[in-house]
C-alpha cells in the first residue's frame, strides 16, 4: 500500500544517511543525527547529505503543514498515494471507522467489514508502521539543515495537516483510520491535492483557485440556494440534474458555480473546468470520473454555439440520451448569456416551409431543455445594484459615506457597461485601490 514511500528518491537518500551516520538503536526507534556537519564528514556522506537537502526543497509544494521539511515530504507522499486502500477509502469502504479514536473500537469495526476491505485496512496499518518510524526521524538542527527546519505554511490551514496528525497518532490502527477518512474527504492519487481542475486531456490542478464564497455574492441567495440543493442531491447519492445558468453578463453565474464548489470541497466534490474546444472529450472526462468515490462538477463556462457549428448535436447527445450515460457522481454545469445556447438567425426561417422552420428551430432550442435545472440571472435594478455596492464596501472596509458611494457608483455603471454584480465589484476594487494610493501619496508629502 505504502511501499512507494520507501522507494521515493528523497526517502532512499534519507534511509542511506540514517544507516551511515546515525545509530537507529536496538529498540527499533529511529536515532538522532544530532547536528550533522558535512564539512567534517566523509566526502561520500557530504554529497549524500547535499542531495538529500535538495530533494527536500524540490518536493516542497503548496500544501504545507506545521512540521519539518522532512515531515512535509512524507506527508505529500502519503496524502497523494494512489493504492487499493486509498481508493477503497475514497469510495467509502471505511465509513464505519470515521470518528473512532481507540484501537479497540477500530478493531471491532474492522471486523464488520468485508473480508477484502478488512484485509486492505490491516495491510495498510502494517505498512504505515514503517512510515511512522521514518516520520519520527530526527535530523538534528542548524540553519543550513533544510530537512529539520520547520516549514512555513501558506495562510490558512492545509488539508494535509490532517495527514500529519494521522502519522503522529500513537497507534497505527488509529493512523490508518484517520487516513481513510482523509481519502474519503479529499480523494486519492492525482485528485487529492486540489479542489479545482481543468481538463487538458487529463486532470490538471488549478493552483490559484478563485476564493469566492457564497457570502461574497450579494443578492443571489435564490440562485445559490437552488444550485446548492442540487449539489447536495449529488453528494448524497440522489438523482441530480445537469444545470444551465443563463442570463445577463456579469451577474454572477460563474462565481456561483465556484462558490458552491468551495462549499462542498471537504466532502469530496471536485470542480473540473472544460474548455469549449474540448467538449468532444466529455465522454473521456466522464469515463475518468466513473467509479471514483468523489463527486464531480463538470464546468463549461460561457457556452454558446454559432449557427454553423454542429458540435452542439454531439454535446446534446452527451448530456442526456447518448450511448455513454452520465455517471451518478457527475453533474454538468453550463453558464451562458442566453438560454438558447445555439444562436438562431433569420435564415432559419427563410426559404423553408412551416414544418421545416419548426423542426429547425426546435432542434436548436431543445439543447436548453436537456438540463434538469435552469437558473436565471438578471441584471439588478438600480436599488439592487446599490445594495450590492453598499455591502461590498462594508466588507472591504471602505471609508465612504452612503451618499458618496451612491453618486460614484451610479456614474461608474454608466461608464462601465451597465449595472451588474461584476460592475459593482470593479467599482469597489477601484475605490479601495485609489484611496490606498492617495493615502500613500499624502504620507510621502507630509
Both 91 and 170 in one domain: the answer is yes
Query: Does 386 reside within a domain?
Result: yes
Query: Does 196 reside within a domain?
Result: no
Percent helix, percent strand, percent coil in the chain, to nearest 5? 55, 10, 35
pLDDT at 140 over 80: no
Both 15 and 159 in one domain: the answer is yes
Assess contact for 269 and 231: CB atoms under 8 A.
yes
Over residues 225-268, the pLDDT tens digits come to 999 999 999 999 999 999 999 999 999 999 999 999 999 999 99
What is the edge-to-edge ordering of all strands in the sheet holding 373-377? 203-205, 196-199, 269-273, 295-300, 330-336, 243-247, 373-377
Both 167 and 209 in one domain: the answer is no
What radius of gyration, in Å, describes the C-alpha atoms of the chain?
28
CA distances from 110 to 1, 114, 215 (A): 17, 8, 41
Query: Does 287 reside within a domain?
Result: yes
DSSP per position, 183-232? HHHH-SGGGSS-SEEEESSSEEE-SS-----GGGSTT-HHHHHHHHHHHH
pLDDT at 18 over 70: yes
Q: Which of 136, 170, 191 is the last residue of a domain?
A: 191
Assess contact for 234 and 292: CB atoms under 8 A.
no
Over residues 83-95, the pLDDT tens digits come to 999 999 999 999 9
Q: Which residues have C-beta within 8 Å of that of residue 319, sequence separation ≥ 6?
A: 242, 282, 326, 332, 370, 371
Both 309 and 397 in one domain: the answer is no
Q: Which of 169, 191, 213 is the last residue of a domain?
A: 191
**Cell digits of residue 119:** 484485509
Number of domains in the chain: 3
Parent domain of 150: 3-191
Both 211 and 75 in one domain: the answer is no
Query: Does 405 reside within a domain?
Result: yes
Helices (H), 8-152: 9-21, 43-58, 69-79, 84-90, 103-110, 115-135
Both 281 and 430 in one domain: the answer is no
Both 76 and 172 in one domain: the answer is yes
pLDDT of residue 287: 93
pTM: 0.85
Provide the β-strand partners of residue 342.
305
Assess contact for 84 and 120: CB atoms under 8 A.
yes
Query: Does 367 reside within a domain?
Result: yes
Q: Which of 358, 377, 396 is the last residue of a domain?
A: 377
Both 318 and 392 in one domain: the answer is no
Query: Does 102 reside within a domain?
Result: yes
Both 119 and 152 in one domain: the answer is yes
Distance separating alpha carbons of residues 144 and 171, to the nearest angstrom? 33
Both 211 and 327 in one domain: the answer is yes
pLDDT of residue 306: 74
Over residues 303-361, the pLDDT tens digits come to 887 766 667 777 777 776 565 678 999 999 999 987 777 665 445 445 555 544 555 55
Both 155 and 25 in one domain: the answer is yes
Which SS3 state, helix, strand or coil, does residue 292 take? Answer: coil
Over residues 103-117, the pLDDT tens digits come to 999 999 999 999 999
CATH of the domain at 247: 3.40.50.300
DSSP per position, 307-328? TT--HHHHHHHHHTTSSSPPPT
Which has the closest alpha carbon to 79: 178, 156, 148, 172? Answer: 178
**Cell digits of residue 83:** 493504492
Query: Does 74 reside within a domain?
Result: yes
Assess contact for 326 and 320: CB atoms under 8 A.
yes
pLDDT of residue 346: 43
Assess contact for 128 and 121: CB atoms under 8 A.
no
Both 340 and 388 in one domain: the answer is no
Query: Does 138 reside within a domain?
Result: yes
Over residues 360-395, the pLDDT tens digits come to 555 556 677 788 999 999 999 999 999 999 999 999
Amino acid at each position: 500500500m505504502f511501499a512507494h514511500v520507501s522507494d521515493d528518491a528523497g526517502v532512499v537518500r534519507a534511509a542511506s544517511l540514517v544507516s551511515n551516520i546515525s545509530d537507529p538503536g536496538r529498540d527499533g526507534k529511529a536515532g538522532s543525527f544530532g547536528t550533522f556537519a558535512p564539512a567534517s564528514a566523509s566526502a561520500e556522506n557530504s554529497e549524500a547529505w547535499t542531495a538529500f537537502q535538495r530533494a527536500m526543497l524540490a518536493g516542497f509544494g503548496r500544501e504545507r503543514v506545521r512540521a519539518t521539511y522532512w515531515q512535509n515530504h512524507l506527508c505529500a507522499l502519503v496524502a497523494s498515494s494512489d493504492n487499493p486502500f486509498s481508493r477503497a477509502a475514497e469510495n467509502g469502504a471505511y465509513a464505519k471507522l470515521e470518528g473512532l479514536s481507540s484501537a479497540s473500537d477500530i478493531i471491532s469495526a474492522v471486523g464488520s467489514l468485508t473480508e477484502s476491505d478488512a484485509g486492505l485496512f490491516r495491510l495498510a496499518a502494517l505498512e504505515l508502521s514503517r512510515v511512522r518510524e521514518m516520520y519520527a526521524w530526527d535530523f538534528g538542527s542548524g540553519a543550513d539543515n533544510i530537512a529539520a527546519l520547520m516549514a512555513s505554511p501558506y495562510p490558512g490551514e492545509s488539508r494535509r495537516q490532517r495527514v500529519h496528525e494521522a502519522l503522529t497518532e500513537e497507534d497505527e490502527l488509529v493512523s490508518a483510520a484517520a487516513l481513510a477518512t482523509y481519502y474519503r474527504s479529499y480523494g486519492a492519487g492525482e485528485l487529492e491535492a486540489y479542489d479545482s481542475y481543468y481538463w487538458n486531456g487529463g486532470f490538471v490542478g488549478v493552483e490559484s483557485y478563485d476564493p469566492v464564497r457564497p457570502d461574497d455574492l450579494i443578492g443571489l441567495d435564490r440562485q445559490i440556494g437552488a444550485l446548492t440543493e442540487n449539489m447536495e442531491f449529488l453528494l448524497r447519492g440522489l438523482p441530480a440534474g445537469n444545470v444551465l445558468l443563463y442570463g445577463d453578463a456579469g451577474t454572477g453565474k460563474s462565481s456561483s458555480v465556484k462558490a458552491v464548489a468551495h462549499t462542498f470541497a471537504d466532502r469530496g466534490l471536485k470542480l473540473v473546468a472544460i474548455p469549449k474546444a474540448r467538449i468532444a472529450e466529455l465522454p473521456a472526462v466522464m469515463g475518468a470520473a466513473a467509479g471514483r468515490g468523489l463527486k464531480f462538477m463538470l464546468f463549461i463556462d460561457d457556452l454558446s454555439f454559432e449557427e454553423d457549428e454542429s458540435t452542439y448535436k454531439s454535446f446534446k447527445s452527451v448530456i442526456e440520451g447518448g450511448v455513454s450515460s452520465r455517471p451518478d457522481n457527475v453533474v454538468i454545469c453550463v453558464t451562458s448569456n442566453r438560454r438558447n445556447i445555439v444562436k438562431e438567425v433569420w435564415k432559419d426561417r427563410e426559404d423553408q416551409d412551416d414544418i421545416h422552420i419548426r423542426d429547425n428551430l426546435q432542434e436548436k432550442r431543445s439543447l436548453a431543455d436537456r438540463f434538469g435545472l435552469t437558473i436565471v440571472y438578471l441584471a439588478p435594478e438600480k436599488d439592487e445594484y446599490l445594495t450590492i455596492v453598499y455591502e461590498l464596501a462594508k466588507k472591504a472596509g471602505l471609508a465612504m459615506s452612503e451618499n458618496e458611494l451612491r453618486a460614484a457608483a451610479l456614474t461608474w455603471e454608466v461608464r462601465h457597461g451597465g449595472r451588474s454584480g461584476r460592475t459593482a465589484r470593479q467599482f469597489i476594487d477601484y475605490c479601495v485601490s485609489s484611496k490606498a494610493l492617495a493615502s500613500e501619496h499624502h504620507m510621502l508629502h507630509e
